[in-house]
Every structure is written in C-alpha cells, then in structure tokens.
Amino acid sequence: MTGSLSEKTSTAVRYRTPTPEDAVAVWQMVLNEPMLDDNSSYHYTLWFRDFAETSLVATVGDDIVGFITGYRRPGEPETFFIWQAAVRPDNGISGLGIDLLVNAIDLQLAAGATYVETSVSEQNKAITMLLHMVARKYDARMHTELLFRAEELPGGDHDEVLYRMGPLRPRA
C-alpha cells in the first residue's frame, strides 16, 4: 500500500468485485484484526477466484480499506451467507462498515437473494448492533439461533450464533 489513508480520505470509496490479486492485501488486513479468524493467503486467492461475485472490496485509490467474503448457500440459493468482513481501523471514513455491507447485500438482492446470514460471537456487540441496523434498512426480520457450540469447533473459544435476516426488501 502506498501513502497514508489520511491523505486519501477526500477520495471517494469505490466498491468492486475482488480479484485474486487482492488476496494478499485482504490477508494482511485479517492478520492485523484480532477479532477475525486467520485464513491463509491461498484461501483468499482461491476465494477471490471462485466466489468473487459474492464478495466485495472497498478501495480508496489503490488501497483496499475493507472487504466482505460471502457465498450463496448451495442448498438455499436465496440465502447470501457472509463469511468474513472487515474494514481497516485507520480508514478515516465514517460509516464504511455499514456502507460495505449494504453494497454487498444490494448486489445479492439484485441477483435474487432474499435472506442474509452470518455467524457471530454473542460477545461481539458492535457487529450484532450493526446487523440489526442493516435489517431495519431492509425492513427485514432478524432471527437468531445457536449454530455451533464452541465445543464442536476444534480450538473454538466461543459459540457461533447464526443471524438470519429476511425476507429483505430493496431499500427505497
């Protein structure tokens, strides 16, 4: 990455489909975020090859300042599952996290999705609040249930709670 983000905050954020060339920058962002599960750089390279159409990166200039990885569930193609999302904490862009999420959801709604799912630790209050805000934007109901207990996941340190919102209606 070149330059500091503080120099670039006046530049518009651009949302685009990721490419395998974006994998290293995203992988490095994940390594610097202790709340996220680590994946290999190879994981992101494959993900951005095979699931690019259901993922999104946010850029300012040439810098990736946020990303979402997601997929359409094979047994429920109307459901968009968000696997991982992050924004650089030093991005200096107000509301970037919610804008990134809304842009990704809008793309999937246009492609036929009507539900959004993700799993989150109950301790992650900031993300759960964000999810409820997003559900309100789409006039959608929110359903939660235990997806996996920590004991079911090797090395798991928290339960994974499923958040399912929908049906989603396009925003006005």
Provide the pLDDT for residue 11. Answer: 63
The domain spans of the chain are 5-166
Q: Which amino acid is it at 26?
A: V
Q: What is the pLDDT of residues 98-144, one digit of tens each?
A: 999 999 999 999 999 999 999 998 888 888 999 999 999 999 999 99
Cα radius of gyration rounded to whole Å, the chain = 16
The pLDDT tens digits for 83-93 are 999 998 877 78
Q: Which pLDDT score, from 0 to 100, does residue 57 have? A: 98
3-state helix, strand, coil in the chain (%, to 5): 35, 30, 35
- Which spans in 22-145 are helix H? 23-31, 41-50, 96-110, 125-137
Torsion of CA 6, 11, 14, 18, to 10 degrees: -50
Q: pLDDT tens across 1-59, in order? A: 334 444 444 569 999 999 999 999 999 999 988 778 889 999 999 999 999 999 999 99
The arithmetic mean of pLDDT across residues 52-69, rounded, is 96
pLDDT given for residue 158 in this prediction:
86
Strand partners, 82: 70, 118
CATH number at 5-166: 3.40.630.30
pLDDT at 83: 94
